[in-house]
Amino acid sequence: MRRRSGFGWLELVIGIALIALGVLAFAKPDLALTGLVFAYGIAAVIMGVADIILFIEVERYTGLGPTLSLISGILSVMSGLMLVVYPATGVLVLTVLFPIWFIAHCISRLAHLGHIRFVAGGGIYSFTLIVNIIGLILGILMVFNPLFTLTTIRCFASVYLILLGVDSVVMAASRMGKRW
């Protein structure tokens, strides 16, 4: 008897949560930055758990990809917990942690492109490649210009969260369509 992978459902929930968070950030520009820090902290914890689960699922493969997924997951969970527990301090620390989280998550996804192409196909592979290259560029811009991070975080973070959400939903749909 075949069963469907439970990971597709987690990826779908993450995708919907990221899209909702991105839309909320656009719709309510007057939200306090501490509220956004808290929400981003929750998103980072959820995405970190997903990266750790991805590591568990692909640990049988050799290479650097699974290890990067574990490191990315741990960094995401640590960053997210810090933002949730200390949102006021998180506003200041966000200028450092948020770019690191962007970069770590993008590197993790890029390290799994071969697996993504195998599981989801060429179109999703290309979309994931483009989204994560954009994320790397934004992360690097934020690292080298913290003022840029503080002044524009809502706009490009909103767009990027929506893109990450779409990427997760597409991945979930492709994963849930395959039988194990």
Domains present along the chain, CATH in parentheses: 7-177 (1.25.40)
Cα 129-131-133 angle, rounded to 5 deg: 65
Q: Give dist(CA 8, CA 155) in Å, integer.
A: 29
CA 149 from centroid of its chain's CA atoms:
17
Q: Give dist(CA 96, CA 145) in Å, integer.
A: 10
Taking the chain (180 residues) in runs of 10, the rounded mean pLDDT of each run is 57 82 73 70 86 75 68 85 80 73 82 76 82 85 76 69 80 66
The reported pTM is: 0.49
Rounded to 5, what percent of the chain is helix, strand, coil?
85, 0, 15
Predicted pLDDT of residue 1: 43
Q: Give dist(CA 76, CA 47) in Å, integer.
A: 7
